[in-house]
Amino acid sequence: MSIIVELPRTWVAGLERRLVSATSQTQSPFTGTTEVQDWGGEWWEYDIEFAAQSGPLARSVSAALTALGSGRGLLLFADPSIEAKSRNQTITLDMPVSGGNVLQTTGWLPGLPALASGDFLSIGTGRQTRLHQVAFDATANMSGIALVTLFPALRQALPAGTALELNRPQVLLRPTAPVPTRIERVARHRFTLSAREAL
């Protein structure tokens, strides 16, 4: 059974995040038109560069990344490029969903903006944690309900009352390759991690 590692976001020096879609393209040799097949799968991929470390801290980072193995372990990652928020209200699903890109949510301040295009949220905990980005601005109605369009699409059914994490969204990642350690002069260690969302 794989373990879940959670690393401090302050260790991250830089990252690349991308949403990958399961699509294929075929171009006609006669007309030049392109046919796109969308298979519906979407997931996040990350390339993470950790700040240079030395001494005991470098050994701690090395141990944590070694524990991930080459896909055996899981990393619960709070992306430092996602602005942390401090919302006091609890936001939940107002209605059950069976998948898709639109959620009806409740708990917002009535009549006020709820989420802005580009905001992030996560749903679930532990091995069920999924990261989503908001596609369009959402405003709550006078009952505190807001329709939120997000991507990637939900992959599982969720009951009404499921909580949304807005203040510190996380993504569950699985390494796609062994984590290399580059050791420079004065025993400074540099680590890079390539990973994809663990589905």
Percentage above 90 pLDDT, the chain? 46
d(CA 126, CA 106): 23
CA distances from 123 to 37, 44, 66, 162 (A): 28, 14, 27, 8
**Out of 15-24, 36-45, 131-140, 148-157, which region has the weakest mean confidence (pLDDT)?**
36-45
132-141 confidence digits (pLDDT tens): 999 999 999 9
The pLDDT value given to residue 121: 96
Is the pLDDT reported for residue 93 higher than 90?
A: yes
Of the chain, the end-to-end C-alpha distance in Å amounts to 15
What are the structural domain ranges in the chain?
1-80+172-199, 83-168
Is the pLDDT reported for residue 43 higher than 50?
A: yes
The pLDDT value given to residue 2: 61
The pLDDT value given to residue 22: 80
Q: What is the DSSP string of 150-179?
A: EEEEE-S-B-TT-BEE-SS--EEEEESS--
Is the pLDDT reported for residue 9 higher than 90?
A: no
d(CA 94, CA 160): 5
Kindly indicate the confidence band of residue 1, based on its pLDDT and cuts at 50, 70 and 90.
very low
Q: What is the CATH number of domain 1-80+172-199?
A: 3.30.200
Kindly indicate the confidence band of residue 92, based on its pLDDT and cuts at 50, 70 and 90.
very high
CATH class label, 83-168? mainly beta
Q: Is 94 strand, coil or helix? A: coil
| Average pLDDT over every residue of 168-180 | 88
Contact 167, 84 (CB under 8 A): yes
146: tokens are 């807001």
d(CA 105, CA 87): 15
Kindly indicate the confidence band of residue 3, based on its pLDDT and cuts at 50, 70 and 90.
low
**Out of 111-120, 136-145, 171-180, which region has the weakest mean confidence (pLDDT)?**
171-180
